[in-house]
Structure 1
């Protein structure tokens, strides 16, 4: 039967020996219907054996939206944070019979509206929005959230005797940069360190080297650099190499978010590893209007390698 065309509710009803309405109640988990566990299992078994797939358009009309959740990503796709976040988001949505659609790149308002009009998604999420919202961090955020992750770099360097620390930033307009610098400065202040000076490491290689050289001339006392992410850290390492400086002997460098490239260079990049699967699961449950209790965030950790 499954090979002759699309399997319908009528097919499942015939195979399980119940009415079409009963099949609909079971497969949609209708809480207002009293159906025995035995019948429910018989219907579900028939649906599995026949390969029944719900008709998305019909269900969208019935429920007022499709079971698609859209994730817009316009930054940070390569790091471990994004990989683990998307994994958690996708797994949690699948557990509740929803599908994740990822859109990468800047999304213009009219483009987003086209998505809304075409597929009627259950929700449209901005990548790691809960992570971005740490403008007024609480104790949990300083422990396992953005504030705490930002603090890890500075604490690590301070524990190794560095007091004059700089912050290397990207040349793009990242939504995280301003908030990140705030958390870094608060951490330095709490540790009794001098103010952390920011500087930009641009692309291409020659421009990055010139920027690092100019910063070194103006800040000779700096002995360590905390980079905005691994990409900026790698640009900084390349610039220091081109300037004839040795890492970590002349200056230490620590990255952020653990991309695979950091382990492949010499010296291997010390960096902050963030497991954001719990952030993704929390975002999924929030989008579906479900209770987020019981989701435990994993603390970030420093991967100690050779650069710091």
Structure 2
């Protein structure tokens, strides 16, 4: 192999091909303000960069601006389903509009210490869904890293930016739909996966709050595994307690409830109405098709990205976009 095969393309190579100075290449590639560069020169530089496959060094850009353009998202040990995937995809797109790059690290603290991760990447900001120790917070802030904690309904804690995505709205929407349909005794199908408690607890709290506000009994909570036999046992207990409708943690749990109802020889929604969350593709294919609640992930991503940009620039974050954030998808199951 030749030396050229291994050598990184530099701004000098682009300048040579475009017939301009390295400074001009830098101004064009970094879109430097207050520089008078003709459209034809800009086009020559961009064409040369494209032909050579050149892109500015991220390390050099960090040294020049004093700030990385990376936003590090530390995910807990969550199952990465369609909804989390949609959230991350939309967040990546929204941050890119601000010139920021999303890097996601799934896992837990046992895999690798938090400090090792952010020090290796030197991000402009960290989005996390778990708490940090006071020492970790001090270390990040001393390094100029903005910290954004997505609490998903937990109470605010001092000395941090709070990103409270209103999961309770989901539970309220579920219960509100069932109550409006005439149900006065509700159940809740809680997941058997401890990894998703951060979502499940505020959703259940929303169902409870709606039942309390509407003076409706329940919810009678059962932990429902993704297993037809175990789900059938929960259905039997709900039936014995006079429960006529169930809010499920998500669509997968709701599908398990549907399977349990079938095993019990009962029908949905005549014997038990069921409503899920997320509107995953199988929800539309269920028998009967699953009524569900979905979140506007584009709006959530815009909110998250605006909060990150505000944190980086030391400004107050935006208000939570609660209006029209959660939507009901009506089908046959409830």
Q: Structure 2 length normalisation: TM-score?
A: 0.75
Distance 2:243 2:234 in 1: 15
Asked if residue 276 in structure 1 is aligned to residue 304 in structure 2, the reply is no
Shift of 1:234: 1.2
2:234 equivalent in structure 1: 211
Asked if residue 193 in structure 1 is aligned to residue 195 in structure 2, the reply is no
Shift of 1:241: 1.3
2:118 equivalent in structure 1: 116
1:35 equivalent in structure 2: 35
| 1:214–1:258 CA distance, 2 compared to 1 (3 A) | same
Shift of 1:45: 4.9
Distance 1:286 1:48 in 2: 33
Segments of 5+ residues of structure 1 without an aligned counterpart are 137-143
SS, match of residue 176 in structure 1: helix
| 1:285-300 superposed matches below 5 A | 285-288=306-309, 289=312, 298-300=324-326
Distance 1:63 1:133 in 2: 35
| 1:75-154 superposed matches below 5 A | 75=78, 77-80=80-83, 82-108=84-110, 110-126=112-128, 130=150, 132-133=152-153, 135=155, 145-154=166-175
1:139 equivalent in structure 2: none
State which of 238, 256, 266 in structure 1 corresponds to 2:287: 266
SS, match of residue 127 in structure 2: strand
1:58 equivalent in structure 2: 60
Aligned length: 294
Shift of 1:223: 0.5
Which protein, 1 or 2, shows the higher relative CO under an 8 Å CA cutoff with sep ≥ 6? 1
| 1:134–1:111 CA distance, 2 compared to 1 (3 A) | closer
SS, match of residue 112 in structure 2: helix
| 1:50–1:298 CA distance, 2 compared to 1 (3 A) | farther
| 1:237-256 superposed matches below 5 A | 237-256=258-277
Verify the 8 A CA contact 2:307 2:318 in the aligned structure 1. no
Higher mean displacement: 181-190 or 21-30: 21-30
Distance 1:100 1:302 in 2: 30
Asked if residue 301 in structure 1 is aligned to residue 303 in structure 2, the reply is no
Q: Structure 1 length normalisation: TM-score?
A: 0.81
Verify the 8 A CA contact 1:68 1:101 in the aligned structure 2. yes
Name whichever structure is richer in strand by fraction.
2
Asked if residue 180 in structure 1 is aligned to residue 203 in structure 2, the reply is yes
Distance 2:110 2:126 in 1: 14
Distance 2:268 2:107 in 1: 34
Distance 2:282 2:105 in 1: 24
Instruction: Tell me how large the CA RMSD over aligned residues is.
Output: 3.2
| 1:293–1:35 CA distance, 2 compared to 1 (3 A) | farther
Distance 2:320 2:226 in 1: 39
Verify the 8 A CA contact 1:72 1:124 in the aligned structure 2. yes
Segments of 5+ residues of structure 2 without an aligned counterpart are 130-147, 157-164
Distance 1:71 1:241 in 2: 41
State which of 54, 68, 71 in structure 2 corresponds to 1:69: 71
| 1:206–1:64 CA distance, 2 compared to 1 (3 A) | farther
